[in-house]
Amino acid sequence: MISAHAVHLWGNLFAGFLYTVIFFFVLKDMLAPAGLRTPFSISIALIFALIISGFFAGGLFAAPWAHSQLETLCLVLAVLPGLFFLVLGWRNHFFFSFLEIKTSRDRFDKLKEEFLSVASHELRTPLSVINGFAEILVREKLGPLNDEQKRRVRKILMQGQRLNRIIDELLDLSRIKRGKIECRKDVFDLVPVLKACLDDHLIVCEQQTLVLRDNIPDVLPDVVGDLERVTQVVVNLLNNAIKYTDPGGEVTLSASVDNENHEVVIAVTDTGIGLEPRDKENVFREFFRVQHPGKKYSGSGLGLAIVKQLVEAQGGRVGVESEGAGKGSCFFFTVPKSRETSS
């Protein structure tokens, strides 16, 4: 007859080994595809660690129970769910289905990117023709137009230019996703770049009766990054602030130095519609657009997603602050200071 000590030792060791095998499959096929640093993965790993260490420590270091039959029953009850889970998962490919789901999601994302890229390229040529003929008509090179005809042709041209901007955003996002956009590492002065962006938006703000404020210091440390892409980020943030701010509101472009993190912080603050807490988490997602009761805003929902990708590609951070709906927003991003300036 098996002794109580043997049942205690080998029962705990077998249970520990069983749950170690289960954890291996869970780790490989469930947690790794989902991300090992997510709260869910960390929680599952900690639970398995406690169970496995408890069995091994109990078998090797703890004394057998006084009632050996009760201990045997508890070990059987502990092992049976593990065996059931392992056999069921193996027979029905339960573990591997998570990997298949992740693979299918990756394949879908790749197909989506390819479709956006191809569709954008195919739309660009006919759209350029439409815009070109609209410009010819607006300039009356084919003959004079009356006021109503001019108004309608200008509307065609305006919508064509808007569609062209959306296509540019789709192409940019597609290139970023495929790693086709390389950000340069130039050292440059931010002040003239930010001033130029402000000047380019003065007329738009005047047309919409918005106040455009300049809160840029006369001198800033040189930064390292891609001048063209930094300009694109600032323009996107200014366009976003102007679009979501009602007439009579204010938009402010500011910059400051964060010596602790060795970076320059650029911020665009507005007095517009603001953001709900739930929207702050999603505002940088692709195709996400803030819903506001009673108002509809045009756009593709790609501008802020592109901003995030471009900023992070240059080693910076991006974020947003808002006290709630109707209380305005502050979108900010950082650009690393140059080493020469930092030293």
The Cα–Cα gap between 305 and 327 comes to 22
Q: According to the model, what pLDDT value does residue 121 have?
A: 65
Beta-sheet pairing, 263-270 with 329-336: antiparallel
Q: Burial code of 158-194, b = ≥16 C-beta within 10 A, e = fewer?
A: eebeebbebbbbbbbbbebbeeebebeeeebebeebb
Dihedrals φ, ψ of 268, to 5°? -120, 115
Burial (Cβ within 10 Å: 0-12, 13-18, ≥19) of residue 50: exposed
According to the model, what pLDDT value does residue 31 have? Answer: 65
Q: Supply the pLDDT for residue 33.
A: 59
Q: How far apart are CA 150 and CA 162, in angstroms?
A: 18
Whole-number pLDDT of residue 103: 58
**pLDDT at 116 (0 to 100):** 65
Which residue, among 162, 139, 227, 149, has the nearest Cα to 191 in the 3D structure?
Answer: 227
Q: Taking the alpha carbons of 303, 308, 309, 310 in that order, is the dihedral positive or negative? A: positive
Give the start-end residues of each E strand in 59-163.
none
- The SS3 assignment for 13 reads helix
Report residues of the chain scoring pLDDT below 50.
95-96, 343
